[in-house]
């Protein structure tokens, strides 16, 4: 048995593709059920945010499991798998664990240290537990969330909390200010 993560994020895929792949909360139970029924996926947790879609899975064989996830993403999004195959990233065993801990700590976010991701990781874990798709992965996710909390309390990463909307708002304000100045001139 192996652990894998297969995903797309803000660094690897365009926003329009990420939007097509995003799993809203009301569809998460069905998605977890669909993925856990795949031949090579034994357990699954789906982390879906506006900046990433990641499937964490215990699997029987690496390549067929990646194929199961890729086929699911294609069917779910309506995109041909060859349209995003080169954009997918995969991590295996220790690499998958390391990636999860980096994500939970906010180190793999668009804005390093952003505060929302820890809650999103917790939510993904809780949904998978509720749906019964992650009996053994639950312990890994619990440790990742605990580690993410420690990173926030024991380092400076959480001292000046930032979320994605704040920089967007600042950008809009500066754009509005420039527009106002240009109109006044």
HSE toward the beta carbon, residue 67, CA cutoff 13 A:
7
Q: List strand residue ranges (DSSP E) for the chain, in order.
A: 2-9, 41-49, 52-59, 89-92
The pLDDT score that the predictor gives to residue 184 is 42
Please tell me whether residue 161 adopts helix, strand or coil conformation.
coil
Q: Where are the domains of the chain?
A: 2-184
Residues in the chain: 185
Q: Is 59 exposed, middle or buried (0-12, 13-18, 19+ CB in 10 A)?
A: buried
The arithmetic mean of pLDDT across residues 72-77, rounded, is: 96
Q: 102 or 168: whose pLDDT is higher?
A: 102
- DSSP of 62-83, one letter per residue? HHHHHHHHHHHHHHHH---HHH
Given the candidates 3.30.460.30, 1.10.10.10, 3.20.20.70, 3.40.50.10420, the CATH classification of the domain at 2-184 is 3.30.460.30
93-152 pLDDT, tens digit per residue, is 999 999 999 999 988 888 787 778 999 999 999 999 999 999 999 999 999 999 998 888
What average pLDDT does range 176-182 have in this prediction?
Answer: 39
Highest mean pLDDT among 103-107, 153-157, 176-180: 103-107
Q: What does the pLDDT read at residue 154?
A: 85
Could you give the CA distance from residue 81 to residue 59 in angstroms, rounded to a whole number? 20
SS3 content of the chain, % helix, strand, coil (to 5): 60, 15, 25
Instruction: Say whether 169 is catalytic.
Output: no
Q: Find all residues with CB under 8 Å of 68, minimum gap 6, and list them.
A: 35, 38, 39, 40, 41, 59
pLDDT in tens, 10-63: 999 999 999 999 999 999 999 999 999 999 999 999 999 999 999 999 999 999
Which member of 20, 22, 34, 50 is catalytic?
50
Q: Which residue has the higher pLDDT, 89 or 159?
A: 89
């Amino acid at each position: 048995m192996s652990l894998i993560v297969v995903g797309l994020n803000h660094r690897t895929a365009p926003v329009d593709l990420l939007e097509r792949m995003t799993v809203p909360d009301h569809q998460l139970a069905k998605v977890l059920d669909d993925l856990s029924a795949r031949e090579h996926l034994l357990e699954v947790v789906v982390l879906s945010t506006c900046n990433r879609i990641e499937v964490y899975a215990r699997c029987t064989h690496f390549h067929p499991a990646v194929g199961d996830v890729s086929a699911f993403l294609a069917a779910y999004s309506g995109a041909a798998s060859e349209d995003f195959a080169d954009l997918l990233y995969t991590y295996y065993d220790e690499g998958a664990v390391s990636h999860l801990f980096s994500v939970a700590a906010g180190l793999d976010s668009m804005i390093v240290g952003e505060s929302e991701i820890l809650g999103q990781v917790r939510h993904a874990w809780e949904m998978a537990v509720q749906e019964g798709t992650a009996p053994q992965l639950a312990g890994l996710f619990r440790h990742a969330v605990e580690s993410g909390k420690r990173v926030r309390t024991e380092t400076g990463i959480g001292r000046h909390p930032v979320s994605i909307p704040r920089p967007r708002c600042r950008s809009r304000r500066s754009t509005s200010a420039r527009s106002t100045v240009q109109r006044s001139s």
